[in-house]
Amino acid sequence: MARYQIGSLDASIGYDSRYTDYLRVEYDPEVDTAYVSVKESTAIGGNDGPGGSFSNGYNLKSTIVKPTAKTLLDAIKCVTGNNNYNFKKYGKPTKNFEWSIDNEEKLGLNAKLAQAALNQFNSDDSES
């Protein structure tokens, strides 16, 4: 089972890395499944202490079997639209969502790019 990261978005409050949320979209072509995960970072300590941040790793938010551009976007928008995360207010997901397509970064949250991200794994199958 090989998962490939096909999309991501990071959002922090005022560029303060202690308050950063990370969204990752991975795809496993062997089982034709996409995974949407989120990692949250929260400040720890106080004004008097050393401070820092705490993160408890990625939490799976959605699993999409046989994803299409629409189902993938719906899952991503479900996360980015959640006010418990920084994505909507600080991440500008429509403009800043980053797709990894054929080793190039493409910005924007739209169906054309989502489909291209999925298609990059299917093109090798059609040539054999």
pLDDT of residue 125: 45
Single pTM value for the model: 0.83
Band (126; pLDDT cuts 50, 70, 90): very low
User: Are residues 97 and 87 in contact, defined by beta-carbon separation less than 8 angstroms?
Assistant: no
Domain ranges of the chain: 4-123
What SS3 state is found at 69? helix
Residue 112 has pLDDT above 60, yes or no: yes
Token pair listed for 122: 């299917």
Of 87, 95, 88, 79, residue with least CA distance to 20: 87
Pick the more confident residue, 50 or 80. Answer: 80
Residue 26 has pLDDT above 90, yes or no: yes
Band (49; pLDDT cuts 50, 70, 90): low
pLDDT of residue 36: 95
Per DSSP, 48 falls in state T
